[in-house]
Amino acid sequence: EDKHVRDVFFVSFFVAAMDVSTLLIAWHPGRFPEPVMTADFHASGILATGGADASVKIWHVSFEEKLKPRVTFRSSLIKHNKPVNCVRFSPARDRPVLASAGDDGLIYLWSPTDLPPPADSDNAEVWQVRKMLRVHPADVYDLSWSHDGEFLLSGSVDNTAVLWEVWNDNPKVEQLREHAHYVQGVSIDPLSAYLCTQS
């Protein structure tokens, strides 16, 4: 039995003829099966998931004969020490950049490398942390990228949202403190003119 197969998650794929093929995928092990908290696609067919086991997992999605979907495990990203609530791929970069956020209040920016995985690893790819963003003292619930991949908006149970200029040496641009309760959803509009925060 594949040790990554523990919990269940359903993914539906819409094909050219608008037929739907439903694939059962299972992952995120722990001492007991752990919930999958978040998922996000990259345009290249990479799928990232985050779970209550504090890990981010990378999958490649492809289609076999008759458009039957196939998902292959590629890598497990371990940095968070509490559940991962949100994973979001930057829309702007040819080489994938993934942001992950969790109950530890941390945001990590990941990208794949050309390094070979260790011989004793189950990983087929090596992803590295390019940057860590820290200002929230509590759980980060949601993330949203700007269309150009230069800015990231985060929302937290500390009742604030933070706008980051992620590749700047001093990345925090603004901390929005208008909410009186948890910020559970955030979004940057496609023209990067407006920010939306939900509480």
**C-alpha pair distances (Å), 151 with each of 50, 122, 195:** 21, 33, 11
pTM of the model: 0.87
Q: For residue range 76-95, what is the model confidence (pLDDT) as tens digits? A: 999 999 999 999 999 976 78
Range with the lowest mean pLDDT among 10-19, 41-50, 106-115, 177-186? 10-19
Q: What is the chain's mean pLDDT, rounded?
A: 87
Is beta strand 98-102 parallel, antiparallel or unpaired with respect to 84-89?
antiparallel
What the block records as the tokens of 47 is 């799928």
Residue 143 corresponds to which tokens in the numbers above?
């993330």
Contact 119, 110 (CB under 8 A): no
SS3 65: helix
SS3 assignment, position 155? strand
